[in-house]
Structure 1
Amino acid sequence: MLFVTLTLLTLLPYVTCKPPHIIFIVADDLGWNDVGWHNDAMYTPNLDKLASNGVILNSSYVQPVCSPSRNCFMTGYYPFHTGLQHSAIIPEQAAYLPSNFTTLPQKLKELGYVTHMVGKWHLGFCNWKFTPTYRGFDSFMGYYNGAEDYYEHTIVGGYDFRFNTTVFHPSKGEYSAHTIASRAIDVINAVDPDAQPMYLYLPFQSVHEPLEVPESFERIYANISTKSRRTYCGMISALDEAVGNITSALRSRGFMNNALLVFTTDNGGPSYTAANNLPLRGAKTTLWEGGTKGVAFVYSDTLLKKTKYTNTEMMHAVDWFPTLLTLAGGKPDAGMDGVNQWATVSNGAPSARTEFVYNIDEIDKNAAIRVGQYKLIEGSPGAFNGWTPLPPMLETVVNEMFPPYQLFDIDADPTEHFDIADQHPDVVKRLQDRINFHRTTAVPANYPLPDPASNPKHFGGNWSPGWC
């Protein structure tokens, strides 16, 4: 009898273990040097507390711009495998995440999850089948496009805000970060944490341009003389407050007893407006580390075995899909670009990958790959190629000439000061071969010309599906 009792007690934690709640927060256009744990001039106390008590991911890579990164989060596939490798989707384009790719929320729903999204979609909307509630979300409140006014929710002459599929107008004069946080808290209050696991996807509008923020947040940075930088920093603090309110609601409702919170940016900061990526080189839209090495962390009260440290293991945006799906009890499809990194983020094990592709873009005629310590860039990395200081000195477009290939040792030279291609032709050749191998698997970029059928005047002044 004693043996049976001990056996049952040993097995009990595995028998009663429930799939965890997953909260996936995406900041938009957040620079490497724009959070408190990298820059003590930033006021981000809520994010700092979560990051310092969780695991700071110091080598977590994303795509150079918005839509491609969101593609990675949703599918686990590189954008050059889905057709979203070139730039971000603009409002008038019939571009989209192809419907033959199963999204993470669709997979999680199969496992019994309730799935909710609040914020920015930016994966296509020309047909209803490409919109959030048709791609696995039980509810959606937010907008389809890549940017809009934080108060009026307008972009390029049209209104863009929805509750599920219905045009929705939040309270007049309410700031976007507050709108998103308020809806997230409503979802949290409506879900029973003990009855069903929840996937809550929160891709904030913050801190993408236009640069707008309530004055109370801008005043935090009164010592900054440059208006654009002062406003941008205030937007970050507004985002921080929103995250703090959401995590407080999660804790008060009991979700944090069994939850994983992921925080990541979608790309590097646009230093050409007001962000900063020091000491990294480059900016949003570029293949430099400043455009692709993303601020990120994970936090949990109960699920992480090793915490309060900085993890330097290699991870890519495509890895979140298989990592979270496996954590939820599912099994990723064979052939997916992403790999399960739960052992890495939960207990510091070596990364499950030694290679990733930054991007392959046949329109811009550039590409980049990382293999071990080495990074190879093919063609021009982009238009913003320096180490932008903090304002008032903002970077301008510099059309530099680059050799066909540049090689950097990212372990020894993380800020990409020294091109060592001439010293290591064998490494250049090996990485060229890897890029060419991946290029054979790429699909053409879906980046069509603007379609007049998209014009909001056809839909009562709203950006709306129904034109492709």
Structure 2
Amino acid sequence: MKKIGVFFLALCVTGAVAQVRPSAKPNVIVIVSDDAGYVDFGCYGGRQIPTPNIDAIAKQGVRFTDAYVSASVCAPSRAGILTGRYQQRFGFEHNTSSVLAPGYQQTDVGMDPTEKTIGNEMQSNGYRTIAIGKWHQGDEEKHFPLNRGFDEFYGFTGGHRDFFAYKGKRTMEHALYNNKVVVPENEISYLTDMLTDRATSFITENKARPFFMYLSYNAVHTPMNARKDLMERFSNIPDSGRRAYAAMMTSLDDGVGKVMATLKQNNLDKNTLVIFINDNGGATVNSSDNGPLRGMKGSKWEGGIRVAMMMQWPGHIAAGKTDSRPVSALDILPTAIAAGNGKQKGTKKLDGLNLLPYLNAGNKKEPHKALYWRRGVAAAMRAGNWKLIRIKEKDSLKNVLLFDLSKDISETKNLAAKYPAKVKEMLGSLVRWEKGLDQPHWYSAYGDYNQIMKHRMETTGRDMERMYP
């Protein structure tokens, strides 16, 4: 009897240990939308276009009101997301172009191969990785996702492509790849749906092992290609551009819903960290809406760099929370590594940080003392509620703007003359940050003039900004 008692006691102890044993590595999915307006999501105040599936991520986790990307245009913003480092540190300051800096060739245009991506890091920590959708990190073989830390790739290498099949010739940067095989155009139906289908199949295929997915939709970037049935659903919207935008946003939201449903069907929803982020502010050409935020894509105004961002991870991130502390897209990489108790394998210092400790109950600390931006002659920083924009013209400082975002989220009152000491302090911080940057390896195809004009106090409204792309 004593032996039997000892045996059952051992079973109980073993069972207790099994119950507290750490769970398997969580899966991590990063979903990126393209050029969406800040208030075009229901959870950010949108009323015209229902986005229930994206909103559900915020409802089941945390919604960040003051989340920022590291650039207001697509390619450098994605370089920041993928590396967790200010992309200017490795010369990726502008959207890819053919305007080369001295000493560089067209083959250098793209993410520096010496930079470790989130794919590299997750691979090194035992994850199966896939990149789906828009890449926009260079067109050379050395830049191809399969050579940048991803086991699989289903997407296109350029910055945009038609959502429907091309009827005529199309360039290779617009080709849809399934790993290294080009998908024939006659097999393309509607791209947002196809990207979603690949995402859901990947989840099912890899349900027995930890995986990392970078799901980079090109919706709602131009061209404004929408499904006819969804256009009809929004027939109440008189403006045809806004109607197409609403239909494209619905395809995006439906796709996110299918991804989340597939996680649940495979019993993975509670063991998956999902991060949703938009890549930059709403564009001037796609009928998006940034609400109270001044400016659009391409600018250092809040409307160019503040974006929708939310995270859910049941049991680890409390549901229904709103966080108003400034956070960055650069934080995604270190947060993803930390979620799986991983270690950074790259040797370069990250600018992002693990957000999970800051989401614990009672942690009121600010994750970042300051956030910085620069693209050409326009640079900016945020420290606390202070926001500074600095414009250089012909190597001289011609324009400095200072705003108190706690009182003026729409950046209507330039306080630079009223608070010269704050301006001096922030300009000094900005210059110190710039000392750690590389010179751009290529330049914007639009030049500096548009950046100068875009940040004039008198430049207001979509039509005015559209004059300076």
TM-score greater than 0.5 by the shorter chain:
yes
Q: Which moved more, 1:280-289 or 1:52-61?
A: 52-61
Aligned ranges for residues 123-202 of structure 1 at < 5 Å? Answer: 123-126=137-140, 128-152=141-165, 157-159=170-172, 160-169=175-184, 172-193=187-208, 196-202=209-215
Residue number in structure 2 paired with 1:226: 239
Distance 1:256 1:348, change over 3 A: farther
Counterparts of residues 26-65 of structure 1 (less than 5 Å): 26-37=32-43, 38-62=45-69, 63-65=71-73
Can you list the C-alpha shifts for 1:416-457, whole angstroms capped at 9, x where unaligned? 11111111111100000011101111111122699xxxxxxx
Counterparts in 2 of 1:351 and 1:323: CA distance versus 1, 3 Å: farther
Say whether residues 1:315 and 2:313 are aligned partners.
no
Structure 2 portions without partners, runs of 5+: 1-5, 101-105, 446-469
Q: 1:144 to 1:259 in 2, by over 3 A?
A: same
What residue is the counterpart of 1:24 in the other structure? 30
Per the alignment, in what secondary structure is the counterpart of residue 57 of structure 1? strand
1:278: which partner in 2?
A: 291
Q: CA deviation at 1:182?
A: 0.8
Equivalent residue in structure 1 for 2:78, among 49, 55, 70: 70
Q: 1:360 aligns with which of 374, 382, 407?
A: 374
Residue 406 of structure 1 aligns to a residue whose secondary structure is: strand
Secondary structure of residue in 1 paired with 2:82: helix
Higher mean C-alpha deviation, range 36-45 or range 23-32: 36-45
Alignment CA distance shift 1:125-1:327 (3 Å)? same
Separation in 2, partners of 1:236, 1:449: 28
CA contact (8 A) 2:95 2:444 kept: no
Match of 1:398 in 2: none
Counterpart of 1:341?
355
How far did residue 213 of structure 1 move? 0.7
Distance 2:155 2:408 in 1: 40
The match for 1:466 is none
Indicate the residue corresponding to 1:295 in structure 2. 308
SS in 2 for 1:58: strand
- Is 1:408 equivalent to 2:422 in the alignment? no
Query: Letter of the aligned partner of 2:324 in structure 1?
Result: T
Residue identity opposite 2:417 in structure 1: D
Q: Distance in 1 between matches of 2:133 and 2:195?
A: 6
> Aligned ranges for residues 374-413 of structure 1 at < 5 Å?
374-379=386-391, 404-413=399-408
Paired with 1:67 and 1:153, the residues of 2 have a C-alpha distance of: 23
Q: How has the CA–CA distance of structure 1 residues 407 and 426 changed in structure 2, closer, same or farther, with 3 Å as cutoff?
A: same
1:50/1:23 Cα in 2 relative to 1: closer, same or farther (>3 Å)?
Answer: same
Cα pair distance change 1:13/1:155, threshold 3 Å: farther
The answer on whether the counterparts of 2:53 and 2:254 sit within 8 Å (CA) in structure 1 is yes
Paired residues of 2:97 and 2:443 also in contact (CA < 8 A): no
Match of 1:120 in 2: 134
TM-score by length of 2: 0.84
- After TM superposition, the structure 1 = structure 2 runs for residues 412-431 of structure 1, keeping only pairs within 5 Å, are 412-431=407-426
Q: What's the counterpart of residue 104 of structure 1?
A: 118
Name 2:255's counterpart in structure 1.
242
Residue 83 of structure 1 is matched in structure 2 by: 91
Q: For the Cα contact (< 8 Å) 1:271–1:277, is it kept in 2?
A: no
Cα distance between partner residues in 1 of 2:351 and 2:167: 36
> CA–CA distance in 1 between the matches of 2:98 and 2:63?
32
Give the counterpart letter for 2:89 in structure 1. Answer: H
Deviates more, 1:281-290 or 1:335-344: 335-344
Distance 1:335 1:173, change over 3 A: closer
C-alpha separation in 2, matches of 1:347 and 1:67: 35
Shift of 1:87: 3.0
CA contact (8 A) 2:94 2:443 kept: no
Q: What secondary structure does 2:187 align onto?
A: coil
Structure 1-normalised TM-score?
Answer: 0.84
What's the offset of the Cα at 1:301? 2.8
Work out the number of aligned pairs and report it: 423
**Shift in CA distance, 10/320, structure 1 to aligned 2, threshold 3 Å:** farther
Distance in structure 1 (CA, Å) of the matches to 2:17 and 2:419:
54
Q: Is the 8 A contact 2:193 2:255 kept in 1?
A: yes
2:467 aligned partner? none
Mapped partners of 2:392, 2:233: distance in 1: 38
Aligned: 1:252 with 2:265: yes
Larger Cα Rg: Structure 1 or Structure 2?
2
Residue pair 1:30, 1:265 contacting (<8 A) in 2 also: yes
- Residue 230 of structure 2 corresponds to residue 217 of structure 1: yes
How many Å separate the matches in 2 of 1:99 and 1:430? Answer: 36
Residues 40-67 of structure 1: per-residue CA shift (max 9 Å, x gap): 1111121122222221111110120111
Residues 318 and 338 in structure 1, CA contact (< 8 A), matched pair in contact too: yes
* Distance in 1 (alpha carbons) for counterparts of 2:136 and 2:168: 13
Letter in 2 for 1:325: I
Cα distance, 1:325 vs structure 2: 1.0
Q: Which runs of 5+ in 1 are unaligned?
A: 382-401, 451-468
Q: Which amino acid aligns with 2:274?
A: L
Q: SS state of the match for residue 223, structure 2?
A: coil
